[in-house]
Structure 1
Amino acid sequence: MATGDQPRAGGPALRPRHAPERSCVACHRKGPKSDFVRVVRTPEGAVAIDPPRSVPGRGAYVCRQLSCWQAAIEKGRLAHSLKGPVTPQVRASLLEQARERYKTQG
């Protein structure tokens, strides 16, 4: 048994806390959910960034890098993951938001 797997006196072994893992739709990097930005397609069909990660609907995750946002939007990976079209106006809006947030990054 590893040190962290030692049973407590009179109790079961402690397990490491589970952290949800997601992957970027553009670069496919995997990591904790908190490392990514969620984009959601609501049941009504609207597509938007979901900062609290709580809006109901089909979600897709993108890294916090401008290059990933560009690939996700321009190569259609976001639309594919959201299982529906993303209008040119929404694509432009998402790309503009990404440029503002991540302009100093890759």
Structure 2
Amino acid sequence: MIIIHAGFQIQTDKEDDFLVEIRPLIEASRSEEGNISYDLVKDTEKAGAYTMVELWKDMDAVKFHNQTEHFTSFTATAPKYFTVPPQVKVYDAQPVAKK
């Protein structure tokens, strides 16, 4: 399983527009084959801070996702909302076996 944390720092006066623009990306990504979950989380302590938490079946699913129209369209227009470039962390994880 691949876990991705994409951290966004959004200009506070553009948060509402950012949330409107990211909604189609979230909805379309959740319907992709290989997607386990795709959730945008708002930091409750830091203004304008969000993290996209993505879980994917495997790296092939991530590669497919990164080539979709909804992803490439969002990544082309989203920088106008950022105060700094996104901070992306990718993890290769395995579920912990229950004992």
TM above 0.5, yes or no, is: no
Decide which structure has greater helix share: 2
Decide which structure has greater strand share: 2
TM-score (norm 2): 0.31
TM-score (norm 1): 0.29
The structure whose Rg is larger is: 1
